């Protein structure tokens, strides 16, 4: 399936004209250089983290929006064999066809509710996803968006196949408040749903909040009853954001996530920042608290972006990485 989709999208992108108006391209070479692990007990270890090559191509026209992203990694695979390996998690694609101003037909495209976004972890709560592997997005009136669709497992038969039905809607009220709700796999055992709201009435300032049943935030915190909130502020060269989420003491999971992030533009070319996140389990014999710190910088010149940082995780020991990357885009 992946090879078929990759081939079809490649033909769609490049059969036109690579340098035609509407085509954008980005290439990123990145590495953590070394993975350093310092456990509470036992010997420390240092290993080469590998080098990743990621290519993203996007096409945009009045009626069609499409994207394709793929990556290869030079390093050890799951069997600890060194070589060039395909990165399954980095592979992504989407297509949106807009036959009318009020209607979009989407394939494998993410459509999220504004209030489900957490800027520090840079992810949406899963319950805020209105997109589907195949679906439609309708705007019957201004500022109202309604989406419905099916997961691919609903389109291809299998021993455990069932209909994966998703739907959602969000509405912008006078550019002051955005409210929305969504549900995924509503007739399956893994169903989830969420309701969210955003306050956007002040320039450069935003507050998001929501509730999710069977919620998950990028694998960091999850639970049957997940409450999330965030705030962000941006003014001139300064930006600041806060996240917080709790699952109200769910078993077998962290109960609290909190994060903070600050960015500062020194000039038009140089940017610095830092983010910090923590997860905590309320149970006395639960998971050990974790702390994540990431100071970073970025230098931009023409079409080139160079990034660097230090990736530090503290949880029953210490893990250190030194991420660096180079992006070229046109």
Tokens of 158: 């299998």
Tokens of 129: 């996803």
For residue 272, count other CB atoms closer than 10 A to its CB: 15
Question: Based on the number of CB atoms within 10 Å of its own CB, is 12 exposed (0-12), middle (13-18) or buried (19 or more)?
Answer: middle
Judge whether 201 and 176 are in contact, CB under 8 Å. Answer: yes
What residues pair up with 73 in beta bridges, in sequence order? 52, 85
Tokens of 290: 């974790």
Q: Which residue spans within 116-191 are E strands per DSSP?
A: 117-118, 123-124, 132-138, 144-150, 165-173, 177-184
Tokens of 322: 């030194």
pLDDT per residue rounded down to tens, the chain (330 residues): 444 445 444 544 544 444 456 899 999 999 999 999 999 888 899 988 899 999 999 999 999 999 999 999 998 877 777 888 888 888 999 999 999 999 999 999 889 999 999 999 999 999 999 888 899 999 999 999 999 998 876 656 555 567 888 999 999 999 999 999 999 988 888 889 999 999 999 989 999 999 999 989 988 888 889 999 999 999 999 999 999 999 886 666 788 999 999 999 999 999 999 999 999 887 767 688 899 999 999 999 999 999 999 999 999 899 999 999 999 998
Dist CA 233 CA 86 (whole Å): 38
In angstroms, what is the C-alpha Rg of the chain?
A: 21
C-beta contacts of 244-249 below 8 A and 24+ residues apart: 245/118, 245/125, 245/217, 245/221, 246/221, 247/215, 247/221, 247/222, 247/223, 248/223, 249/282, 249/283
Task: Give the domain ranges of the chain.
Answer: 1-37+54-100
């Amino acid at each position: 399936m992946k090879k078929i989709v990759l081939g079809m999208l490649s033909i769609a992108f490049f059969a036109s004209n690579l340098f035609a108006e509407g085509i954008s391209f980005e290439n990123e070479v990145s590495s953590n250089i070394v993975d350093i692990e310092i456990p509470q007990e036992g010997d420390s270890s240092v290993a080469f983290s590998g080098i990743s090559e990621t290519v993203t191509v996007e096409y945009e026209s009045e009626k069609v929006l499409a994207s394709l992203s793929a990556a290869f990694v030079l390093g050890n695979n799951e069997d600890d064999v060194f070589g060039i390996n395909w990165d399954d998690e980095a592979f992504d694609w989407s297509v949106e066809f807009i036959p009318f101003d009020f209607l979009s037909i989407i394939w494998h495209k993410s459509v999220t509710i504004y209030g489900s976004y957490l800027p520090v972890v840079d992810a949406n709560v899963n319950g805020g996803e209105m997109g589907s592997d195949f679906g439609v997005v309708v705007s019957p009136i201004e500022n109202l968006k309604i989406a419905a669709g099916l997961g691919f497992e609903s389109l291809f038969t299998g021993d455990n196949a069932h209909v994966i039905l998703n739907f959602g809607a969000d509405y912008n009220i006078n550019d002051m408040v955005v409210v929305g709700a969504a549900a995924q796999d509503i007739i399956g055992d893994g169903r989830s749903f969420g309701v969210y709201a955003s306050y956007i009435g002040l320039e450069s300032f935003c507050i998001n909040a929501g509730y999710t049943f069977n919620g998950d935030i990028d694998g960091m915190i999850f639970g049957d009853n997940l409450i999330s909130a965030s705030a962000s502020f941006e003014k001139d060269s300064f930006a600041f954001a806060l996240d917080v989420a709790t699952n109200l003491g769910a078993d077998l999971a962290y109960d609290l996530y909190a994060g903070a992030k600050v960015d500062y533009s020194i000039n038009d070319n140089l940017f610095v920042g830092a983010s910090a996140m923590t997860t905590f389990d309320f149970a006395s014999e639960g998971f050990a608290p974790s702390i994540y710190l990431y100071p970073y910088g970025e230098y931009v010149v023409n079409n080139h972006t160079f990034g660097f940082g230090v990736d530090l995780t503290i949880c029953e020991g210490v893990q250190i990485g030194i991420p660096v990357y180079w992006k070229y885009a046109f």
